[in-house]
Amino acid sequence: MRFFDDTVEYHGFWGSFGDLIWWFFTVFIFFAYLMALFSVIGDLFRDRKLNGWWKALWIIFLIFVPFLTLLVYLIARGPGMAERNAAQVKKSQEAADDYIREVAGTSPADEIAKAKSLLDAGTITPAEYESLKAKALS
């Protein structure tokens, strides 16, 4: 009893360049689909104008008819999706800028200038000015 036909050669996974290209293309499409799916799910939960029932309905359709629902969502709600994403990026950038400004503080020259203006106004004594100046320079 023969299990293999002698006329068919098996080259393994790496045997055919066309099979290799097709495999990479398939994997690329799968990951692109997953990225789009997670973007849509993230957008659904980011959207504050859409009520919970509509969000649940979109999720149900994404589970049972995923590819078609994903295309419909991207066509119907794509512009809003881009606007919400841009708003989120802007909000994150502003938060990062505020944090950097808060952490950076002022330069030693700014601190010395403030101390000098306090000295000139008579708010602090020359000894306090020298102390603040030494602190800023250290």
pLDDT by residue (tens digit) across 10-63? 566 666 778 888 889 999 999 999 999 999 999 898 888 888 899 999 999 999
- Burial (0-12, 13-18, 19+ Cβ within 10 Å), 127: exposed
Average pLDDT along the chain: 85
pLDDT for position 17: 78
pLDDT for position 13: 61
Cα–Cα dist 90/19, whole Å: 44
Model confidence at 5, pLDDT cuts 50, 70, 90, reads: low
Cα–Cα dist 66/15, whole Å: 34
**Ramachandran region of residue 122, left (φ > 0), alpha (ψ -120 to 50) or beta?**
left
Cα–Cα dist 126/116, whole Å: 9
pLDDT for position 3: 58
Which residues in 17-38 are b (16+ Cβ under 10 Å) and which e? Answer: eeeeeeeeeeeeeeeeeeeebe
Cα–Cα dist 16/50, whole Å: 49
How do the domains of the chain map onto residue ranges?
A: 17-105, 106-138
Rounded to two decimals, what is the model's pTM? 0.57
Total number of residues shown for the chain: 138
